[in-house]
Amino acid sequence: MNYIQIIILTTFCTLIVTGEPESPSTCTTPLGEQGICVPLRQCPKLKQAYCNGVESAQMYIEALACKSGNFSVCCVTATTQTTQTTVKPTTQTTAKPTTTKKPLQFKVKTQINMKKFETKLANNKNRKLLPNKRYCGMQHTDDYVYEGNETAVDEFPWLVEVECIYSEEDSTTKFPGVVLSNRYILTTEKCDKNGKTVVTLGKYKRHESVSCVLTRFNEERDCSEPEQKLTATESLTYPTETFVLLRLEKKISFTDYIRPICLPFERRDKPRVRNKVVSSGWGTTDGVEGQAEVKKKIFYDVIDDDECWEENSKTQLLCAKRTTVQEYSLCKGDKGSPVMFKRRLNWFIIGVLGDPQCQSKRPIVTKLIDEDVLNWILNSVLA
């Protein structure tokens, strides 16, 4: 990843609020259009594409970066398009000559870039080390309706708890993660060199190795299998320190209660505006000290960037708001929990949570798993 790309990905939404141009200068886009160099916040088309999670927007914005050193992009505006649009006859009588042509050009550009990247990911020799859609992201809970903030005992079987143990009597740090394969866990934190990293798989109730619940339909007891505890022997950190890959000492034994989640290698595996996403974890329930006893789930709707700015969220990489009124919200202890999207029979991890605020009505902060992260994962995993 080059310098410009790192700057854009890690500081985009902050600069979009605070950056000011030194003096506009003319420029030419890769499509041959005339534009002016302006801060990203002053180019609505690029801002919307980025904050709505358009997959290849990062690559396109990088190509549009001006060389002025003030984090500006070459933005095609209505003013700079006047010459181009007036030479072609049009049947429209309104003064909006750019509402049909330019967005289509951008859409074609992003689709081409995404298709190339999908092909590159598909051809990576390490794709075979990760489970395909015939197994990843599937759970028995989807065979029946199970609504509300409570989870079924076999729901989200890829969710794990990572624990840093520094002595036999003391475990000081716990954080969530997800199973990617039979050897790898994706999370957002890691233990320091003095701590032992232990991953607990198949956890439902926080203080029970085997969890039992009464089913809603026939009042029978549904019990999980015993938890598995495995030690991580290696950790790899993403260049921006957003994600961490943990390699386990031995392979995971998959069950109905321990399964891998899918990664969004294809464009269609990612949510659009108004789609629902879900997060799950054992973080604090609203206003209650300590962590949740049972794994919870919270529903969110993906929103557009304009609604996000109205809520004063300045650092989001994906905007989502809590669906109506729910018993729980994301809270302390849920940092790093997966944000998940279901498409057909499969669940995909599309990002991880930042620091959620209890009972907040503001959009959640989601760190997206974009093409660069996917490429990093593929190039990092071993057999």
Q: Which sequence spans correspond to the domains of the chain?
A: 3-87+98-122, 152-258, 267-374
Band the pLDDT of 346: cuts 50, 70, 90.
very high
pLDDT digits (tens, 9 = 90+) for 297-329: 888 888 776 666 554 444 445 666 655 554 555
Average pLDDT, the chain: 74
267-374 and 152-258 share a CATH fold: yes
Taking the chain, what is the end-to-end CA distance rounded to the nearest angstrom?
25
What mean pLDDT is predicted for residues 109-117?
51
Domain 267-374 has CATH 2.40.10.10: yes
Domain 152-258 has CATH 2.40.10.10: yes
Lowest mean pLDDT among 216-225, 293-302, 321-330: 321-330
Cβ neighbours for 307, distance < 8 A, ≥ 6 positions apart: 319, 321, 363
Q: Which residue spans within the chain are E strands per DSSP?
A: 26-28, 34-39, 72-75, 159-165, 171-179, 184-187, 196-201, 212-214, 221-223, 228-237, 244-248, 276-281, 296-302, 319-322, 338-343, 346-353, 364-368
Band the pLDDT of 59: cuts 50, 70, 90.
low
Report which secondary-structure segment, H or E, holds 51.
helix 44-51
**Bridge partners of residue 205, in order along the sequence:** 294
Query: Is there a contact between 343 and 269 (Cβ–Cβ < 8 Å)?
Result: yes
What mean pLDDT is predicted for residues 282-309?
71
More confident residue, 48 or 344: 344
**Bridge partners of residue 228, in order along the sequence:** 201
From CA 49, how far away is CA 197, in angstroms rounded? 39
CA nearest 183: which of 146, 230, 215? 230
